[in-house]
């Protein structure tokens, strides 16, 4: 089997290895593939692996040898799965490999918003503590999370992991999900999304990106939130209307935002959130711990192995 990896660098920048994949066939690995290079790089592929390189209809129709596409991620919107199905190409993804890593970053962002850890560390290193008249100083209100309401939009694997951590911190968790409305659990209440926006001190997004959820965070929903509330988005960038969020942050409508995803990645230099007040942005790293990427690599290899053995798993199309 001819195996081609179109954009392997993000998964493996050198701290992992492709050895197991290479035992499964004639393997060619590209760190990156530009749009006008896709057909040339993939022309002999029977098995094609992609992370963020888009495989649209016009591309797939130029790859007659292609039998299988493995997406090196959970989301598979980079592949035209309708066309793939018509052409008899199996498409697989890698579910649930990054659950705990993403949940961890949710709280890393939240802790930075509540304690401004980076700022205070920088001030100490500048010598400010050494010359302080008092034994302690702080430049922002410091927020204790225990007893506050943590709102979760979407309750898949990551949403559930986030809920468990919030409960452990002593928070009252309110969840909005289409599948479990009007239920309750220890420390967890299932409520309508508007209740989350109106009552919660933290709102964290963990729902899928659909036509229905695009711009879920907009001028109206932001206006429902408490002035002291924080927004966390480690899900998908287009869940947020970025202009509306920037305006809400700059006007003090909400207290802050922690974002690991944006609508365009890498972001355009004029994205209003890059200069918005009280907005922390990380470069889509929630999924990227070594542990998570190791699980991702192992599942990618297993997906390919199972396909070769005519027992495909994790099929999305």
Right CATH number for 2-97+290-308 from 3.40.50.150, 3.40.50.720, 3.40.50.1820, 3.40.1280.30? 3.40.50.720
194 a catalytic residue: no
- Predicted confidence at residue 206, as pLDDT, reads 97
Answer yes or no: same fold for 2-97+290-308 and 99-281: yes
SS (HEC) of 151-176: EEECCCHHHHHHHHHHHHCCCEEEEE
Residue 279: per-residue pLDDT: 98
Considering 116, 174, 284, 295, which one is annotated as catalytic?
284
Specify the pLDDT at position 181.
55
Superfamily holding 99-281: NAD(P)-binding Rossmann-like Domain (3.40.50.720)
pLDDT at 186: 73
**Residue 281: phi, psi to the nearest 5?**
-130, 125
| Domain boundaries, given as residue ranges, for the chain | 2-97+290-308, 99-281
Query: What burial letters (b/e) apply to 138-153, b meaning 16+ CB within 10 Å?
Result: eeeeebebeebbbbbb
Name the active-site residue from 41, 206, 236, 293. Answer: 236
Average confidence (pLDDT) per 10 residues, the chain, 317 residues: 97 97 98 98 98 98 98 95 98 97 98 98 98 97 98 96 97 89 74 97 96 96 98 97 98 98 96 98 98 98 98 96
Residue 265: active-site member: yes
Q: What is the pTM of this model?
A: 0.93
Is residue 69 within 8 Å of residue 81, measured between CB atoms? Answer: no
Q: Is 284 a catalytic residue?
A: yes
Could you say which of 37, 61, 194, 265 is catalytic? Answer: 265
């Amino acid at each position: 089997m001819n195996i081609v990896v179109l954009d392997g660098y993000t998964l493996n920048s050198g701290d992992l290895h492709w050895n197991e994949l290479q035992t499964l066939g004639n393997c060619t690995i590209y760190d990156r593939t530009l749009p006008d290079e896709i057909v040339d790089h993939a022309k002999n592929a029977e098995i094609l692996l992609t992370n963020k390189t888009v495989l649209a209809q016009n591309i797939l129709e130029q790859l007659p040898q292609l039998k299988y596409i493995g997406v090196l991620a959970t989301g598979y919107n980079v592949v035209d799965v309708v066309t793939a199905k018509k052409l008899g190409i199996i498409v697989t993804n890698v579910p649930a490999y990054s659950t705990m890593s993403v949940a961890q970053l949710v709280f890393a962002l939240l802790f930075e918003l509540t304690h401004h850890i980076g700022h205070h560390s920088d001030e100490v290193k500048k010598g400010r503590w050494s010359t302080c008249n008092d034994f302690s100083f702080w430049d922002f209100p410091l927020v204790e999370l225990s007893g506050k309401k943590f709102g979760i939009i979407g309750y898949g694997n990551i949403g559930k992991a986030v809920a468990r951590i919030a409960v452990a911190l002593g928070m009252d968790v309110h969840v909005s999900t289409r599948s479990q409305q009007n239920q309750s659990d220890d420390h967890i209440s299932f409520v309508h999304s508007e209740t989350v926006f109106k009552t919660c001190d933290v709102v964290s997004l963990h729902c899928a990106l659909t036509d229905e959820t695009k711009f879920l965070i907009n001028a109206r929903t932001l206006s429902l939130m408490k002035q002291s509330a924080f927004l966390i988005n480690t899900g998908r960038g287009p869940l947020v209307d970025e202009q509306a969020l920037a305006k809400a942050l700059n006007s003090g409508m909400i207290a802050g935002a922690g974002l690991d995803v944006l609508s365009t990645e890498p972001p355009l230099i004029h994205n209003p959130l890059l200069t918005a007040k009280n907005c922390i942005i990380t470069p889509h790293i929630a999924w990227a711990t070594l542990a998570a990427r190791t699980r991702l690599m192992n599942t990618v290899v297993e997906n390919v192995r199972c396909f070769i053995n005519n027992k495909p798993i994790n099929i999305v199309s």
